[in-house]
Structure 1
Amino acid sequence: MSIGQLAEQAGVSVKTVRFYSDRGLLPEATRSGGGHRRYGPDALDRLRLIRSLRALDLPVPDVRRVLDEEDELVDVVEGRLAEVGSQLTALRWREAALRLLADCTAHERAERLRLIGALSTPPGTDALARFWRYWLPARLPARVTNAVIDQAVPTPPADPTPEQVLAFARLQDFVTTPCFVFGPRAGTDYGRPEVHLPGKGYRPAVLYEALPEAYELASAELRAGRAPHHGEALDSFVAAHAASLNRRDTADFRRGLHRMLAAEPRIDLYWQLTAEVVSPPSGPPEPTPGAADNWLRAALAPLA
């Protein structure tokens, strides 16, 4: 077939056939005496396959991979699905951000624009992870630090509400304030819990390895709507602190622990905003480690 005949049968322009031929996707069988392209009997099916792949918005290099090796199709399609999913998530975040700006007063709009302008779409969590690396005690084992970060850093929802966009923007703004970015590693201990400070007798790695179990137990109590009380969750929480200090769990230890925790600085705003990010639009809030910690501290209070 000539290039014109192939283009006519495939329902495309001659320019399109030439484009694919020049990029090696559609090899010509031979050339006429005048130098015109000639295509063999398989060219029509190959051209239709190329059009189908391009209709899925696959780039030319990926089309070539599939043509060269059919087994590549699944990998190429999965990769493209991931890209499209990321693009859709970005669009949903932009839509929610626009709704957030549309449904507010002029005074609120200026502040929201500032917050939203600092977000990427979809947003990343690098700033939140960096905050926790600053906030946690120095020289924690990497596996412990990573486990805490995995639990403490919320995953941005793929289809957020305007309220979730605002909460995440405020959360990022909170963790990027100078006092958090520079304070804990700039020679000051202001605002840091006692367990983070050297010379206090704590073994932070022991504490942070044991706390997730206590938080999980307390989260179950929160989901059930139970008020703070003595029991397995509190025992696990106290045991974690006692082990980190090489102490026994006694009534005196619990009283001292309550006094110490009551006087510690808090980052409640972080956990409040995190709960707004991860909780469904309707229904009870999803327990965070911060909410679990508050429940456990309240359970200690009657012993003080």
Structure 2
Amino acid sequence: MDVTTLHSIGDLSRRTGLSVRTIRFYSDSGVVTPTTRSPAGYRLYDRDALLRLELLRTLRELGIDLATIRRVLDRELSVAEVAAAHADAIDVQIRMLQLRRSVLRVAAGRGSDPEETKLMHRLTQLSGEERRRLIDEFVEGAFGTADADPAAVSMVRAATPDLPRDPSSEQVAAWVELVELMGDEDFRARMRRTAMCQAGGRVLGIESEAGEELTRFTRQKVAEAMKSGIDPLGNRATPVIDDLVHRFAVAFARTPDAEFRDWMAQQFEEAHDPGVDRYWRLVWIVNGWQVVPDLIPVYSWLVQALRTPPAGVDSRGRQRPETGHGRG
């Protein structure tokens, strides 16, 4: 054999970038065996050994374990098979890292304590089956009664929250809040009552008496205000709500005063619970659904705005004294 075609460990080290110590370890492990030895007893390797080492290094840098690499080198497995399996494993690792990143960002943003951080981490680690079981328990707890409306159950199940494989920080926060809501017994009762009204398509008394045109106009105006980011408790909501109060007062032949506003708020509160509205918003966030303006729970905004006294009027409907600068 022409020894000029063989490589010493030092030569392999220079060609592959692997250390002499590492190549010696692979050689002792039988992963790469020497072709022969020099007259002085040094190990010598042929071109096949060089190629095996180059492939070994590549696969190791891709994170594949040595036992699997050995099976590839021995042709028990193909590179394609190993690559596919390893890519799947990396997908799982990426998902776990993304979940951890989202939890950490939520914890940092909310200033979470250790217990809340552990809770968020545990809830995001639930398997798909565990999340479905949790939701099934909620639906059973809220609607597992003799008087439960099948339409209400179907409505809730049709919009089941499903945390995606790579949730954003917002989706993680929404999922944690949803779980807290679903475990609240009082909320379950409120959800049952409200969902049964919504699923049954029941029209509120105030809507029925006000008429379809005014009801549709009210939903449109409030939806527009919400889309514009108008705070129901702020001054920008005043002209919107004052106009609606005036229109309803005309329809009911009433005076648009504080008493009438309070009466309107009570009527709209009947089948529209703010906590339930929050539940649906959280479901939209978790599922990554686009918010449809026509489905925005407008009555929560409307009730809050109605409960806010008009400018210059206190909570009892009395005129506030002016506090501006006097004329000089």
Q: TM-score under structure 1 normalisation?
A: 0.49
Q: Which has the larger radius of gyration?
A: 2
Q: TM-score, normalised by structure 2?
A: 0.46
